[in-house]
Chain A
Amino acid sequence: MLLEVPPLLEVKGLKAGYGPTWVLAGIDFAVAEGGVTALLGANGAGKTTTLRAVCGMIRTEGSITLAGQPIQGRATEDIVRLGVAHVPDGRGTFMELTVEENMRLGAITRRDKGVAADFERMFELFPRLKQRFRQQAGTLSGGEQQMLAIARALLLRPRLLLMDEPSFGLAPLIVQEIFGIMARVRDEQKVSILLVEQNANLALEIADQAYLLETGRIVVSGPAADIRQDESIRRSYLGY
């Protein structure tokens, strides 16, 4: 193809880490505009580290571009203001604040008039947040906090949504609900999703493209459907 659409997020030779050593050994990947890209791997493979690296929360080397614009080395708040929302590991709830204040914080950088309408949309996606609107966010259940974290991220009106293990620690029914909402959001809102998951089966169902991380390296990449059908990959890396 001569006229290929450039990816929304393009990462090349990315190294990232916390102390003096690198967790990521220089990885390449891309997130296409308008789809779901899954990043799979076992515990400690570097999935969370990758998301943190993309939004400038840790030390990095290499190149990260968002819609052609380099963002490597920039401050987290500046990257967020370019339209990158992050549903972090541990959900990042502002425990002491109310559900309403948590949601208002999601839209705190916005100056447009659409915020009120977006609040209504979040209530439609997550009716439970409306019931709990005035409640202290620390009193929500795990599933409700996950919904709040997603709502907070969507209220930024992001172009790119980074999701760190949305299924973690939740009952299967709630996980299904959350993945259903993710699919809706992808279809109805113009947002691309980079999804980190340990539950590979679940992630490959919703994803278009997938990458498999093993101890800081990408070992497999390709269309999600192909990976799902490849017995040997499934057996050796995904364990199902």
Chain B
Amino acid sequence: MNGFLHQIIAGIATGGIYASVALALVMIYQATHHVNFAQGEMATFSTYIALTLVNAGWPFWLAFVATVGISFCLGVLIERVLMRPMDKAPVLTHVGLFIGLVLVVSNLTGWVFDYTVKPFPTPFFDGPLLGGLVSGHELGSTAVTLVVLGLVYLFFRHTSLGLAMRAAAFNPVSARLVGVRVGWMLALGWGLAAAIGAIAGIMVAPVVFLEPNMMLGILLYAFAGALLGGIDNPLGAVVGGFAVGVIENLGGTYIVGTELKLTLALVIIIGVLLVKPSGLFGRVVLSRV
């Protein structure tokens, strides 16, 4: 019984990582209707920046904040330089661009930071808590995830900038007509997504160890979570991310075994697309004409 409970708690902890990445995917999807396949690779690159700063002697949380800031700027830069000129290009161009971005960022990471697997320090108490029910890192990373998700929610709900970003995503033509600089809102969205991805990378690296393909599987789980919750619903994506974390852990422990765990993501993706394409919380927009 204790083992079962521990699997659920561990599932929630990794689910928080999936939830963060799922949220990053949804943010860009809502604004552009494209899934940024390179979200994971960008997060891995960010995590290496954090490790470099920590190894250079920076205090962990200072390195954390600096990495989030740098990642935000890199996200904005990618939108401005790569995505902007493709603004009106057909879907396939975007798919090609995203695949290219995956390869370039992944190889760049390997080239700059080399391909060896590296341990990553945890800022939290490194050991079991509550009689082995939960580890210090699981508890800490879940707390960080929840704080980040809460801040993102408050930003979009209660600030003018958040409102302008939502308006730009939902209805760019009308947004321009009230004076919103839609292009910059998109760039900010990319920056925010990159920053959230960076936090997810830093929180998961102590568990899975750091290597250039660290986020590959995580992106798949996150995508499954986003689809499960509804790819156009940020709150749904977050709930979906947590759910996939728990499903993955329980399924891996009791049903398919760890080797076939990643298959569960695929099963969820196909299942959702077959049974309920809009996801569990997919938004149904009411409109009267």
Q: Which residue of A lies closest to B184 (CB)?
A: A77
Bound-state CA distance A97–B164 (Å) is: 11
The residue from A86, A108, A138, A139 contacting B164, defined by CB atoms under 8 A apart: A108
A55: chain B residues at CB < 8 Å are 177
Stretch at the interface among B21-29, B57-65, B132-140, B166-174: B166-174
B174–A93 touching, CB < 8 Å: yes
Contact residue among A139, A140, A156 (Cβ-Cβ distance under 8 Å from B178): A156
* Residues A142 and B289 in contact in the complex (CB < 8 Å), given A92-B171, A97-B167: yes
Q: Is A228 an interface residue (CB 8 A)?
A: no
Q: A105-B163, A105-B164, A108-B163 are in contact. Are A95 and B285 (CB under 8 A)?
A: yes
**Contact count band on A:** 20 to 34
Contact partners of A136 in chain B: CB under 8 A? 286
Instruction: Specify which chain B residues have a CB less than 8 angstroms from the CB of A57 in the assembled complex.
Output: 173, 176
Distance between A18 CB and nearest chain B CB, rounded to angstroms: 13
| B288 at interface by CB-CB < 8 Å | yes
Q: Say yes or no: A108 contacts B160, CB within 8 Å.
A: yes
List residues of chain B with CB within 8 A of the CB of A105: 163-164, 167, 175, 178, 180
Distance between A162 CB and nearest chain B CB, rounded to angstroms: 9
B179 pairs with A156, CB closer than 8 A: yes
A88 contacts chain B at the CB level, 8 A cutoff: yes
B170 touches A95 (CB 8 A): yes
- Whether A80 sits at the interface, judged by CB under 8 Å, is yes
* Residues 77-110 of A at the B interface (beta carbon under 8 Å): 77, 80-81, 85-86, 88, 92-97, 101, 104-106, 108-109
Q: Check B244 for interface membership: any CB of A closer than 8 A.
A: no
Chain B: minimal CB distance from A71 (Å): 14
Given contacts A138-B287, A138-B288, contact A76 B171 (CB under 8 A): no
- A108 lies within 8 A of B178 (CB): yes
| A80 adjacent to B177 (CB under 8 Å) | yes
Total CB contacts across the A-B interface at under 8 A: 81
Indicate which residue in A96, A108, A142, A156 contacts B288 across the interface (CB closer than 8 Å): A142
B175, B179, B283: the one contacting A96 at CB < 8 Å is: B283
Is A21 in the interface zone, CB < 8 Å from B? no
Assembled-state Cα–Cα distance A169/B164 (Å): 29
Assess the A77–B180 pair: CB atoms within 8 A: yes
Kindly list chain A residues whose C-beta atoms are within 8 Å of the C-beta of B160: 104, 108
Chain A residue at smallest Cβ distance from B169: A96
Q: Chain B residues near A93 (CB, 8 Å)?
A: 174
Q: Which residues of A contact B182 (CB under 8 A)?
A: 77
Query: B181 near A: Cβ within 8 Å?
Result: yes
- Chain A: minimal CB distance from B88 (Å): 13
Closest to B174 in A: A92
Which residue of chain A lies nearest to B164 when distances are taken between CB atoms in the complex?
Answer: A108
The minimal Cβ–Cβ distance linking B213 to chain A, given in whole angstroms, is 37
| Given the contacts A55-B177, A88-B177, A138-B288, A104 and B170 also touching, CB distance less than 8 Å | no
Contacts of A77 in B (CB 8 A): 176, 179-182
A112-156 interface (Cβ within 8 A of B): 136, 138-142, 152, 156
Chain A nearest Cβ from B271, distance in angstroms: 27
Closest A residue, CB atoms, query B176: A76
Contact B285 A80 (CB under 8 A): no
Q: Are A139 and B179 in contact (CB under 8 A)?
A: no
Contact residues in A for B289 (Cβ distance below 8 Å): 142
Q: A108-B164, A141-B288, A142-B288 are in contact. Are A94 and B171 (CB under 8 A)?
A: yes
Closest 6 A-B residue pairs measured CB to CB? A92-B174, A109-B179, A80-B179, A138-B287, A76-B176, A105-B178
| Apart from A76-B176, A138-B288, 13 more pairs, CB < 8 Å | A76-B177, A77-B179, A80-B177, A81-B179, A88-B174, A94-B171, A96-B285, A105-B175, A105-B180, A108-B164, A109-B180, A141-B288, A142-B289
